């Protein structure tokens, strides 16, 4: 977050920008040069010399005369500032400075004006500043970043943690080039590129300033030990693919990865995984024959951040190659276009600050990639010329072809371009001689297609590339930005009073969006999105229960795609049911391309690699089938998409209900679901898990209702469906009876729900003994051990209460919360759980307690509090954050044609606002603390 605020002076702190204008105007009229207020806009923030050049608009005058004119302008200016007093601080400035000091934020002024110290002393604000830098502190003036970088060093604050307030376009550019957050003062035409724009500082609070930083995830200082974590949270993408935030030039022990939806490849144990695609970001920078790397030479003024508003990953730094005194400014920026799934763009800029230099950029498409050391690709073809490079590869076992093509453009004429045809790593090499101060910009455009998209991915990628490069970097950049703007217009959540939580929810929603395909119905979001190797890209209940509600409510077409994935994999679900000897369709616990079960049956014991551990979830964690029915029903309830319900929803819900009708076992006095795993995976082979039975009961009830609905609304379809699924009057009677009498251990006198048969008989854990633990209760007690105690990995009964919240009374809520919460492994159990506990605590009107659970979820990725964010984004936790905010803190409930809210905000939140679409109508919820 922000640690320092750097103010520009003229036009921000005081109205001296007007004096500069008056002084130039006086000079201009004396010399008969036309000069208006509008002309002056360009002079804002730029040095005296540059101002004169702009004023002359191409006219040549001698150096002597120029010096004379500048001195004269300065005299006029100084005459005016002689009158300045503390009363000339602009409205709001004094209060703001005082507030910033009180908050322990560093405060400085950075102005190009050599008169700045004089002005500051006349305004009487020296004592409120931790530093001041003016035009004489550095050589290159704004829009170069130097003045701000100099100020950050003075304050000993990393650039990415500085916020700059500027009234000039040149100043905004300079601060951005320094990697800082910007607040523009004035009209959008002038400072519209800033992160936030305000007319002036009147009434502006420190909180208004720091909020400007809630759109970026930053790496303020390079910490090699945190690289894998950073790579995950800086993942960028567009729903077609996701790319981890590794460095273009790579780094030791990094974990580079690009995952393209649907590109499954066979693998031992885990059956199938998303094959790590060739690295489109690959780039080497050579300066005077020194190869750039973060661990060579000296790196200064480093800043890296992911801009969530536009999906752009940026890095800037100053590099001094080992053994050389010369400094180079390096800037990288890249994005996968949200406007154009098959397009990625990367820009690198090298500037020689201290003298001429030879700069070479080698940009390639690196096919030497693997998944945890396992290479999936065979090379089919490659090519490179000075025009274009291309690479075509195919997965070894599944024979999916992927083609990538790249083209480079540059800002300079004098560049030598050659093809670079390394085996498996084709590219281009660009070389130029830079003069002192000169900069070399190379834009790398990459297009990717696979055999899932088109018959001939190679030619598709080549033609896409030709078409896109013609448009140029700026146009593609703007298109991408516009697509993101549209996304945020619908899906942003505004949370005032808590910058950390605000940033966390935006990051979570960003990561979910880049994992959701815009148009592919045959893929869904894996437990680790497209951001890491964890869980091999497999899709779990995480998607339907945790992730999907956000899409259902704010991006229904994307939610529909993901539900269609379950439709297209129904055949796999039929096979799974049949394999276990049941009728109907049973969804896989872990699903990939076909819907067949792909949960590994055995994994290596991390404590003793010679041993294997049996994983039972694929066999008996069966609640996912009801979870999918729930998500379909919820989608329909929210969107009113009857067509979907008719053609997809009802058929799936009925065919899966047939599975339950078969799987549920009759007892003498009812029905049972034995030998299962509920959400709480610390307990396996349990009977009558409350969550599972509760959801199955709900599923059977809905199946009956929806079948009736279909008979009313599409009788011919309904008859055909009954016939094809073999649904008869007996089936319905059976479902009804099962729903009514499926065992559900709920004691109405106490409200308690027993998590499964016999749970209450198990001993409790002596929690005191584990106070200082740093790992999960399951790894301490071992799998068999945890099974024997009343210790939960995650919300189970509580999860059920949340999903079916209308079905349970307050007594039940309270009793179960009181009982299960202290028995849950909140810190090292499942990452799925904290957000759900946040929601549940809200239902019990405990928002401050809910907040603690909420932040636990919010920090899973951004702070890596579980230590495993390197494996990929915790998608379920991200989706859970949205639900905690919307269903929990805002208490949103839909009625058939309207909605209600029950706000219960933590005491320090001032505002919670979001939109959602209910049956085609957009609604805005804006809850403010008065």
Q: Please list the active-site residues.
A: 681
Q: Is 900 helix (H, G, I), strand (E, B) or coil?
A: strand
Of 783, 781, 785, 789, give the one whose Cα is nearest residue 760: 789
Give the binding range for Mg ion (CB under 5 A) out of 4-12, 90-98, 241-249, 455-463.
4-12
462 binds, among ligand G6P, Mg ion, none (CB under 5 to 8 A by kind): none
20 binds, among Mg ion, ligand G6P, none (CB under 5 to 8 A by kind): ligand G6P
* Cβ 128 to ligand G6P shortest distance, Å: 20
* Cβ 331 to ligand G6P shortest distance, Å: 23
Q: Is the dihedral of CA 86, 89, 95, 97 positive or negative?
A: negative
Nearest CB to ligand G6P, comparing residues 114 and 826: 114
812 binds, among Mg ion, ligand G6P, none (CB under 5 to 8 A by kind): none
* Cβ 111 to ligand G6P shortest distance, Å: 5
Nearest CB to ligand G6P, comparing residues 68 and 486: 68
- How far is Cα 292 from Cα 290, in angstroms, rounded to an integer? 6
Q: Is there binding between residue 834 and Mg ion (CB under 5 A)?
A: no
Nearest CB to ligand G6P, comparing residues 43 and 802: 43
DSSP symbols for 746-769? B-TTT--B-SSTTGGGSPPP-GGG
Burial 16-48 (b: 16+ CB within 10 A, else e): bbebbbbbbbbbbeeeebebeeebbebbbbbbb
888 binds, among ligand G6P, Mg ion, none (CB under 5 to 8 A by kind): none
Of 666, 687, 671, give the one whose Cα is nearest residue 754: 687
48 binds, among Mg ion, ligand G6P, none (CB under 5 to 8 A by kind): ligand G6P
Q: Is there binding between residue 45 and Mg ion (CB under 5 A)?
A: yes
* Cβ 44 to ligand G6P shortest distance, Å: 5
* Cβ 52 to ligand G6P shortest distance, Å: 9
Q: Is there binding between residue 168 and Mg ion (CB under 5 A)?
A: yes
Nearest CB to ligand G6P, comparing residues 51 and 468: 51
Give the binding range for Mg ion (CB under 5 A) out of 75-83, 161-169, 576-584, 596-604.
161-169
43 binds, among ligand G6P, Mg ion, none (CB under 5 to 8 A by kind): ligand G6P
366: left (phi over 0), alpha (psi -120 to 50) or beta: beta
Q: Is 396 helix (H, G, I), strand (E, B) or coil?
A: coil
Nearest CB to Mg ion, comparing residues 175 and 527: 175
* Cβ 531 to ligand G6P shortest distance, Å: 42
Give the binding range for Mg ion (CB under 5 A) out of 7-15, 122-130, 369-377, 596-604.
7-15
Give the binding range for Mg ion (CB under 5 A) out of 40-48, 257-265, 677-685, 738-746.
40-48
* Cβ 442 to ligand G6P shortest distance, Å: 32
The separation between the first and the last C-alpha atoms of the chain, rounded to the nearest angstrom, is 26
Q: Is the dihedral of CA 190, 194, 197, 200 positive or negative?
A: negative
Give the binding range for Mg ion (CB under 5 A) out of 85-93, 166-174, 750-758, 869-877.
166-174
Nearest CB to ligand G6P, comparing residues 176 and 450: 176
Nearest CB to ligand G6P, comparing residues 17 and 710: 17
Q: Are 142 and 150 in contact (CB under 8 A)?
A: no
The greatest distance separating any two alpha carbons of the chain, rounded to the nearest whole angstrom, comes to 108
114 binds, among Mg ion, ligand G6P, none (CB under 5 to 8 A by kind): ligand G6P
Q: Is there binding between residue 600 and Mg ion (CB under 5 A)?
A: no
Q: State both tokens at 447.
A: 């297009």
Q: Are 345 and 313 in contact (CB under 8 A)?
A: no
Q: Is the dihedral of CA 838, 841, 847, 848 positive or negative?
A: negative
* Cβ 113 to Mg ion shortest distance, Å: 8
Q: Is there binding between residue 532 and Mg ion (CB under 5 A)?
A: no
Of 283, 306, 287, 364, give the one whose Cα is nearest residue 484: 306
Give the binding range for Mg ion (CB under 5 A) out of 143-151, 159-167, 761-769, 846-854.
159-167
Nearest CB to ligand G6P, comparing residues 11 and 237: 11
Which residues, numbered 326-355, are part of the site for Mg ion (CB under 5 A)?
none
601 binds, among Mg ion, ligand G6P, none (CB under 5 to 8 A by kind): none
Nearest CB to ligand G6P, comparing residues 55 and 714: 55
Please identify which residue in 3, 167, 279, 443 interacts with Mg ion, judged by CB under 5 A. Answer: 167
Burial of 490 (0-12, 13-18, 19+ CB in 10 A): middle
Count other Cβ atoms within 10 Å, centred on residue 784: 9
Please tell me the count of residues contacting Mg ion according to CB under 5 A: 6
Helix (H), strand (E), coil (C) string for 579-607: HCCCCCCCCCCCECCCCCCCCCCEEECCC
* Cβ 202 to Mg ion shortest distance, Å: 17
With a CB cutoff of 8 Å and minimum separation 6, the contacts of 608 are none
689 binds, among ligand G6P, Mg ion, none (CB under 5 to 8 A by kind): none
* Cβ 77 to ligand G6P shortest distance, Å: 6
Count other Cβ atoms within 10 Å, centred on residue 108: 21
Q: Which residues bind ligand G6P (CB under 6 A)?
A: 10, 17, 20, 43-48, 51, 74, 111-115, 135
Dihedral, CA of residue 91, residue 95, residue 96 and residue 99, to nearest 10:
-170
Nearest CB to ligand G6P, comparing residues 71 and 399: 71
Dihedral, CA of residue 594, residue 612, residue 873 and residue 369, to nearest 10:
-70
Structure-token match 């199938």, residue found: 272
Nearest CB to Mg ion, comparing residues 97 and 752: 97
* Cβ 70 to ligand G6P shortest distance, Å: 7
Q: State both tokens at 633.
A: 């029903």
* Cβ 167 to ligand G6P shortest distance, Å: 8
* Cβ 142 to Mg ion shortest distance, Å: 9
- How far is Cα 927 from Cα 890, in angstroms, rounded to an integer? 8
Nearest CB to ligand G6P, comparing residues 122 and 304: 122
Q: Is the dihedral of CA 368, 346, 165, 486 positive or negative?
A: negative
Give the binding range for Mg ion (CB under 5 A) out of 168-176, 426-434, 446-454, 688-696.
168-176
- How far is Cα 861 from Cα 183, in angstroms, rounded to an integer? 27
Residue nearest to Mg ion (CB): 11
51 binds, among ligand G6P, Mg ion, none (CB under 5 to 8 A by kind): ligand G6P
Which residues, numbered 562-591, are part of the site for Mg ion (CB under 5 A)?
none
- How far is Cα 554 from Cα 547, in angstroms, rounded to an integer? 12
115 binds, among Mg ion, ligand G6P, none (CB under 5 to 8 A by kind): ligand G6P
Dihedral, CA of residue 51, residue 56, residue 57 and residue 59, to nearest 10:
-140
Nearest CB to ligand G6P, comparing residues 133 and 476: 133
776 binds, among Mg ion, ligand G6P, none (CB under 5 to 8 A by kind): none
With a CB cutoff of 8 Å and minimum separation 6, the contacts of 316 are 145, 159, 177, 178, 179, 301, 302, 303, 304, 329, 330, 331, 332
Helix, strand, coil content of the chain in percent (nearest 5): 40, 25, 35
Which residues, numbered 8-37, are part of the site for Mg ion (CB under 5 A)?
8, 10-11
113 binds, among ligand G6P, Mg ion, none (CB under 5 to 8 A by kind): ligand G6P
- How far is Cα 25 from Cα 10, in angstroms, rounded to an integer? 17
- How far is Cα 460 from Cα 230, in angstroms, rounded to an integer? 33
Which residues of this protein are in contact with Mg ion, per CB under 5 A?
8, 10-11, 45, 167-168
């Amino acid at each position: 977050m922000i640690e320092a605020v750097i103010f520009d002076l003229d036009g921000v702190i005081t109205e001296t920008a007007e004096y500069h204008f008056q002084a130039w105007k006086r000079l201009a009229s004396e010399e008969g040069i036309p000069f208006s207020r509008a002309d002056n806009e360009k002079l804002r923030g730029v040095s005296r010399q540059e101002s004169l050049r702009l004023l002359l608009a191409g006219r040549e005058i001698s150096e002597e005369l120029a010096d004379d004119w500048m001195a004269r302008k300065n005299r006029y200016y100084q005459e005016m500032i002689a009158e300045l007093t503390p009363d000339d601080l602009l409205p709001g400035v004094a209060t703001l400075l005082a507030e910033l000091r009180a908050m322990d934020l560093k405060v400085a002024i950075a102005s190009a004006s050599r008169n700045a110290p004089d002005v500051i002393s006349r305004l009487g604000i020296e004592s409120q500043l931790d530093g001041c830098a003016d035009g004489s502190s550095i050589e290159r003036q704004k829009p170069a970043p130097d003045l701000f970088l100099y100020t950050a060093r003075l304050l000993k604050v990393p650039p990415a943690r500085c916020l700059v307030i500027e009234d000039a376009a040149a100043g905004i550019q300079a601060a951005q080039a320094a990697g800082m957050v910007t607040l523009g003062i004035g009209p959008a035409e002038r400072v519209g590129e800033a992160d936030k724009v305000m007319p002036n500082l009147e009434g502006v609070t420190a909180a208004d300033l720091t909020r400007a930083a809630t759109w970026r995830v930053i790496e303020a200082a390079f910490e090699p030990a945190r690289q894998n974590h950073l790579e995950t949270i800086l993942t960028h993408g567009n729903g077609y693919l996701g790319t981890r935030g590794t460095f273009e030039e790579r780094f030791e022990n990094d974990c580079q990865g690009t995952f393209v939806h649907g590109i499954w490849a066979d693998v031992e144990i885990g059956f199938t995984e998303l094959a790590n695609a060739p690295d489109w970001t690959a780039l080497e920078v050579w300066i005077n024959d020194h190869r750039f790397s973060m661990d060579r030479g000296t790196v200064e003024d480093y800043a890296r951040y992911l801009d969530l508003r536009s999906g752009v990953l940026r890095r800037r730094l100053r590099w001094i190659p080992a053994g050389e005194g010369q400094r180079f400014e390096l800037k990288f920026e890249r994005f996968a276009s949200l406007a154009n799934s098959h397009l990625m763009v990367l820009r690198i800029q090298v500037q020689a600050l201290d003298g001429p230099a030879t700069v070479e950029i080698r940009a390639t498409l690196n096919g030497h990639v693997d998944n945890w050391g396992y290479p999936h690709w065979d090379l089919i073809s490659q090519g490179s010329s000075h025009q274009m490079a291309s690479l075509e590869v195919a997965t070894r076992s599944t024979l999916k072809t992927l083609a990538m093509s790249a083209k480079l453009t540059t800002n300079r004429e004098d560049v030598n371009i050659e093809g670079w045809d390394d085996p498996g790593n084709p590219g281009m090499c660009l070389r130029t001689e830079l003069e002192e101060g000169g900069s070399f910009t190379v834009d790398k455009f990459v297009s990717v297609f696979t055999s899932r998209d088109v018959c001939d991915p190679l030619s598709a990628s080549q033609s896409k590339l030709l078409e896109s490069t013609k448009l140029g970097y700026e146009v593609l950049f703007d298109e991408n930005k516009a697509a993101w703007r549209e996304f945020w217009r619908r899906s942003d959540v505004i949370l005032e009073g808590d910058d950390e939580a605000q940033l966390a929810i935006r990051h979570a929603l960003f990561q979910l969006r880049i994992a959701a395909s815009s148009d592919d119905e045959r893929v869904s979001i894996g437990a680790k999105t497209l951001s890491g190797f964890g869980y091999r890209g497999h899709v779990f209940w995480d998607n339907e229960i945790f992730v999907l509600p956000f899409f259902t409510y704010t991006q229904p077409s994307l939610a529909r795609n993901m539900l269609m994935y379950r439709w297209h994999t129904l055949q796999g679900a039929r096979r799974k049911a049949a394999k276990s000897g049941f009728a109907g369709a049973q969804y896989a616990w872990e699903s990939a391309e076909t819907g067949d079960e792909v949960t590994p049956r055995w994994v290596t014991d991390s404590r003793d690699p010679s041993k294997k551990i049996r994983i039972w979830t694929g066999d008996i964690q069966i609640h996912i089938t009801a979870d999918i029915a729930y998500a379909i029903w919820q989608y329909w309830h929210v969107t009113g998409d009857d067509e979907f319900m008719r053609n997809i929803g009802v058929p799936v819900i009925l065919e899966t209900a047939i599975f339950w009708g078969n799987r549920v076992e009759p007892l003498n006095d009812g029905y049972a679901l034995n030998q299962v795993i509920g959400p709480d995976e610390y307990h396996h082979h349990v009977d009558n898990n409350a969550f599972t039975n509760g959801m199955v009961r709900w599923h059977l009830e809905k199946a009956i209702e929806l079948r009736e609905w279909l008979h009313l609304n599409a009788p011919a379809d309904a008859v055909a469906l009954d016939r094809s699924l073999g649904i008869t009057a007996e089936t319905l009677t059976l479902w009804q009876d099962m729903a009514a009498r499926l065992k559900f251990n709920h004691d109405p006198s106490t409200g308690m729900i027993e998590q499964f048969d016999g749970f209450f008989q198990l001993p409790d854990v002596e929690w005191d003994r584990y106070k200082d633990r740093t790992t999960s209760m399951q790894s301490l007690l071992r799998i068999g051990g945890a099974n024997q105690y009343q210790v939960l990995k995650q919300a189970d009964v509580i999860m059920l209460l949340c999903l079916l919240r209308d079905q349970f009374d307050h007594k039940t809520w309270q009793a179960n919360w009181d009982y299960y919460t202290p028995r849950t492994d909140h810190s090292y159990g499942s990452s799925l759980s904290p957000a759900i506990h946040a929601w549940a605590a809200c239902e019990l009107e405990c928002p401050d307690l809910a907040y603690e659970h909420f932040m636990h979820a919010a920090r899973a990725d951004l702070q890596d509090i579980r230590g495993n964010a390197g494996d990929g984004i915790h998608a379920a936790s991200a989706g859970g954050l949205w639900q905690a905010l919307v269903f929990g803190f805002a208490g949103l409930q839909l009625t058939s044609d309207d909605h209600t809210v029950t706000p219960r905000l933590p005491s320090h939140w001032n505002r919670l606002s979001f939109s959602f679409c209910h049956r085609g109508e957009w609604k805005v919820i804006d809850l403010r603390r008065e």
